[in-house]
């Protein structure tokens, strides 16, 4: 069964510094996708970045990068040069390509607070 674990309920970072949010996953499907979403206090879910299981390179999107370590089954999100607007809840999610294709499994989230 697919499972996502985010072990950091809350994280603090100083403005302009980098921060890493941890995510580990478990799946028996060789084909899967890993996603990070941001949920600010307003409640919407904002897609940030995607990594496919067969991608050779780590994904990057602006200040977001995904540190993908397949053997360790980890997909940590790195936010560089943190901004006050980055304060939000961050969710790691996974979708498998096999019989579970369609559904995303989400972790419990990490609350990030950026300090001025």
Torsion from C-alpha of 68, 71, 73, 78, nearest 10 degrees: -20
Q: Of 50 and 64, which has the nearer Cβ to other proteins?
A: 50
> At closest approach, how far in Å is the CB of 116 from other proteins?
25
Tokens standing for 30?
């060789």
Closest separation in Å from C-beta 59 to other proteins: 11
Which CB sits closer to other proteins, 29 or 78?
29
Please say which residue, 15 or 108, places its beta carbon nearer to other proteins. Answer: 108
Site for other proteins, rule CB under 8 A: 4, 31-33, 35, 37, 43-47, 50, 52, 54, 91, 93, 95-98, 100-109
Please write down the HEC assignment for all residues of 21-36: ECCEEECCCCCEEEEE
| HSE of 55, CA atoms in CB hemisphere, 13 A | 16
Pairing of strands 110-115, 10-14: parallel
Min separation Cβ 106 and other proteins, Å: 4
CB of 67 to other proteins, least distance (A): 19
Residues 6+ apart with CB under 8 A from 98: 29, 31
The residue among 2 and 82 lying less far from other proteins, judged by its C-beta, is 2
């Amino acid at each position: 069964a697919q499972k996502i674990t985010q072990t950091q309920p809350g994280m603090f970072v100083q403005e302009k510094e980098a921060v890493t949010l941890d995510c580990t996953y478990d799946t028996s499907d060789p084909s899967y996708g890993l996603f990070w979403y941001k949920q600010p206090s307003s409640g919407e879910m904002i897609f940030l970045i995607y990594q496919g299981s067969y991608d050779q390179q780590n994904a990057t999107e602006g200040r977001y990068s995904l540190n993908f370590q397949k053997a360790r089954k980890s997909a940590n999100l790195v936010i560089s040069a943190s901004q006050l607007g980055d304060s939000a809840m961050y969710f790691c999610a996974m979708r498998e390509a096999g019989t579970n294709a369609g559904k995303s499994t989400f972790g419990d989230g990490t609350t990030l607070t950026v300090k001025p």
